[in-house]
Structure 1
C-alpha cells in the first residue's frame, strides 16, 4: 500500500465511523500510521509505529511502569540450589502515536490483535552473576491501548537463577534468597543505524511499589513459604535500566521439623532426668542407652541433611546441638564411671573432716540426686573391707557426683539456649 493509498483508506474508514459496533479496529491504525509516516518518512524505516520507540525523534525516555508482578508457579532444586519461576507482569507505557479522538472514532480502548502493529519493549534477563540465561523466556500478551495513548500489556515470564543458601544453619526452617533482574533489549527488526545503545538510553523502568503477588488459582507452595520483596527500578541514568526483585523461600514442612526435632528433644530430656535415677551404676546404664539413641539420631540426621551439605558451609543448629549433646553425655558418662570406680576402692584412712561435713550438706541439699541408703549398704558390703570409713568415702564421692551432674545439666541448658 503506498502512502497516498493509506491516507485515502484512512479517510474512507473515518467517514464511515458512526458507532463503536461498526468501527473497524484497523481504522485508527491507518490514520495514525499515515501521520507517523509523515513525521519520520525521511528516515526510511518501514512500519515506524512498530519499528521505533514512541519518542524516537524527541529522544525523551520511554517510561515503562511495572504495575504488578504475579507468581504462578516455581520449581526449586535443593541439590543444585537453583529455582525457576513462572508468572506474569502487568506493564504500561505511553505512545502518543496511538492517540485518537473518542468523538471521532467512537471508542475508548482497543485491543491489539497483532503485535506487529505497535511498538513493544523487549526484555532480557539478567544482570546478576548467578543467572541462567538458557532458562529465561518472555512473551507479551493482551496488548491494549486507550485513546490517550496509554498502552497496557501482560508480560508472561519464565526466569531461572541460583539461590543464596547462607541461611542453611536454620534447617529445617532455612530460607533461600533468589534474586532476579530485567533489562531492555534491542529490537532486531530495526535498521542497522538504530543502535542498541540508543535503545537502552531511551527506556526507563518504574516500579509501582507493590509487593510480589501469588496467583491463588494456580500457585502451590509445595511445602515452602514464599515471600517476595518489593520490586525496585534502577534510578541511575548513567546505567542501563534495570528492574530487580527477590523471592524468599522458607521451608514450611512440619513433618521434617517433627522428624528431626522429636528424637533430639527426647534424648535431651532423658539426659536431664538421669541424675534422678539414684544409684550411679543405674545412671551409667541409662547414659549408655541415651548414647545409643543419640547415635541413631545422628544416622537420621545424616540421611536427611547430608544431601544438602554439598554447597553449604554452615552447619544446621539441630546438628550442632546434637553434637553438643553427645559430647556432654560422653563427659557425663566418663565422670560417672570414674566416680563409681572411686567408690569401689579400699580405703583405710578416714576422709578429711571438712569433706565429710561438705558431703553431708550436699547430700542433704541435693537429696534427689544422691544414692538411696539401701544401695549404699549393698555397695559397702560388696566393697573390700576398709574399716568404718568406707561409707564416709562413698558419701563423699556421691556428693561429688551429684555436684558434677548438676553442673553438666546447667551447662546443657545454657548450651541449648545459646544454640537456639
Structure 2
C-alpha cells in the first residue's frame, strides 16, 4: 500500500514538472517573438528610394531634406575614400579643394558683389564702420554630382562646418578682434558642377584719409579696406568681378552723406605673397547747413567791405571798416568753434578759413591807410602841393567822385583866385584822391584773392 502511494506521488511530480517546462518554453518563445524586428519603412533603403523618384517636385519638404542629406553624405563618403591614406576626419571640410590634374593649385575665390547696408561715420576720429555682405564663389570638384542620378541641381549646406570654406579677415588680422572687425559666412549652396556660392556678412572698421580737408566743409573722406585670408593664406587666390560697391535699397540710409565706392581690386603683397582684396569708399557731406553757416558770414563781411567807399568821407569809411573788422573777428570765433574739432592731425587749412584770414588782413591794411591819409589831410600847410599833384587829384576826383562826399569835392567849374586859404583845400583833395586810388587797389586785390581762393 505504501509503495502504491509513493508511485502516485512521483507520477504527479513528474507531470507538474513537465507542465512547468512546457510553460517556460512557451514563455521563451513568446518573448522571442516580441524581440523579432517588425517590418517597417525604416528597414528600406530610403536614399535609393528617393533617388528613383522621377519628379522631385512630388516630394514633400521632409522627403526633400532627406534627399539632400543622402546626397551630401554620399559626397562626403567619396571624399573620405579618396583621402583614406591621410587618416583625416571629415576630409570634405578639413582639406581645401584642388583643381583636377593640378596638384598644389590655389583655390580661386571670386568676389562677385559687395553690398553696403549700414555705415557710421565718426568725423572727430575719422573712423568709418560699415556693415553689409559679400557674395563669393569658388569651385570644389568633390561636391559635383550627376543631375540625372540625383535629380538635384542645387544643394543647400545647413552648416559651414560641413564643407571647406575660406576663412577671411581684415588686413591686420592680428588685431581684428580688438578693432571690432567681424566676418561670418552664411547661406552656403552648391551647384551640381561643384560651384559653391556663399554670402559673407561683415562688419569692418577703418580710419579715413582726409587729405582734402582744405575744401572743408565740402571735403571728401577716403576710407579703404583690405581683406585677406586668415588661414591657408598661400593656398587661396582672389579674383575681382569688376563690379563697384552697391548699396542695399531696403536698409541703406545715407545719414547726410554722399557715398561712392571704387571698383574693388586684388593685389599681392610682395613680401609674403598673400592676396589682398581691397576697396575704398568716398564720403562727402550732402547737408548744406554747415556750408551755409560758414560761407554766409564771409559773404556778408566781404560785401560790407566793398561797399564802404560809398560812404564818401574818410572818417565814415574808417568807422564802417572797424565795424566790419569786428564782424570778421566774430566770424573767426564761429569758425574756431565749428572747424577746430575737425582739425585733428590735418596739415592743411580750410580754404574758407584762409579767405577769412586774407579778408581780415586786407581790411586791417585798408583801415591803416585810411587813418594815415585822413590824419595827413588834417595837417595845416602853408605851401601849395605840386602842380602835377593838383591836376591828377582833380582828374581822379572828377572821374571817381564816389570816393568823396559833397562837402569835400571841389567844383571844377568854379574859377577861384588862388590864395593861401586854398592851399589846405588843395592838399585835402590830393589826399582824398590818393585814398580813393588806394581803396580801389585794395578792393581789386580783395576780389582777385577771392577768385583765387574760391
> What TM-score does the superposition give when structure 2 sets the normalisation length?
0.82
Structure 2 match to 1:27: 70
- For 2:32, the equivalent position in structure 1 comes to none
1:156 aligned to which of 172, 184, 201:
201
2:190 matched to which residue of 1?
145
TM-superposition CA deviations, 1:327-361 (whole Å, max 9, x none): 11000011111111111110111100000111111
Distance 1:417 1:130 in 2: 48
Seen in structure 2, the aligned counterparts of structure 1 residues 128 and 98 have a Cα distance that, compared at 3 Å, is: closer
Deviation, structure 1 residue 386: 6.1
Distance 1:136 1:258 in 2: 37
Q: Report the Cα distance in structure 2 between the residues aligned to 1:128 and 1:317, rounded to whole angstroms.
A: 39
Deviation string for 1:300-333 (max 9, x for gaps)?
1011011112221211111110011111100001
Q: Pick closer, same or farther for the CA change 1:325–1:134 going to 2, 3 Å.
A: same
* Contact 1:131 1:162 survives alignment (8 Å): no
1:289-368 counterparts in 2 under 5 A? 289-368=323-402
Is 1:89 the counterpart of 2:89? The answer is no
**2:8 match:** none
Partner of 1:246, secondary structure, is strand
User: Residue 368 of structure 2 aligns to a residue in which SS?
Assistant: helix
Where do 5+ consecutive residues of structure 1 fail to align? 1-8, 187-198, 378-384
1:101 alignment counterpart:
146
Per the alignment, residue 118 of structure 1 pairs with 163
Matched with 1:55 is 98
User: Matches of 2:315 and 2:173 in 1, distance apart?
Assistant: 62
1:395 aligned to 429, 446, 450, which one?
429
- Give the CA deviation at 1:135: 1.4
Q: Distance in 1 between matches of 2:126 and 2:449?
A: 31
Shift of 1:129: 12
Report which stretch shifted further, 51-60 or 238-247.
51-60
How far the C-alpha of 1:169 sits from its partner, in A, is 1.0
Identify the residue that residue 165 of structure 1 maps to in structure 2.
210
Please point out which of 318, 324, 335 is paired with 1:284.
Answer: 318
In structure 1, the partner of 2:181 is 136
Q: Which has the larger radius of gyration?
A: 2
Residue 252 in structure 1 maps to residue 286 in structure 2? yes
Q: Partners of 1:36 and 1:372 in 2: how far apart? A: 101
| Aligned residues between the structures | 392
8 Å Cα contact 2:216-2:351 kept in structure 1: yes
Moved more, 112-121 or 386-395: 386-395
Q: How far off its partner does 1:14 sit?
A: 3.7
Tell me which of the two structures has the higher relative contact order, counting C-alpha pairs closer than 8 angstroms and 6 or more residues apart.
1
CA positional deviation for 1:235 = 5.1
Tell me by how many angstroms 1:147 deviates.
0.6
Q: Partner of 2:129: helix, strand, or coil?
A: strand
The TM-score, its normalising length taken from structure 1, stands at 0.89
The Cα RMSD (Å) is 2.3
**CA distance, structure 1, for counterparts of residue 298 and residue 217 of structure 2:** 14
Q: Give 1:34 deviation, angstroms.
A: 1.6
From the superposition, tell whether residues 156 and 416 of structure 1 become closer, same or farther in structure 2 (CA, over 3 Å): same
Instruction: Give the deviation of 1:214 after TM superposition.
Output: 1.2
Please tell me whether residue 78 in structure 1 is matched to residue 123 in structure 2.
yes
| d(CA) in 2 for partners of 1:116, 1:128 | 21
Structure 2 residue ranges without an equivalent (≥5): 1-42, 411-418
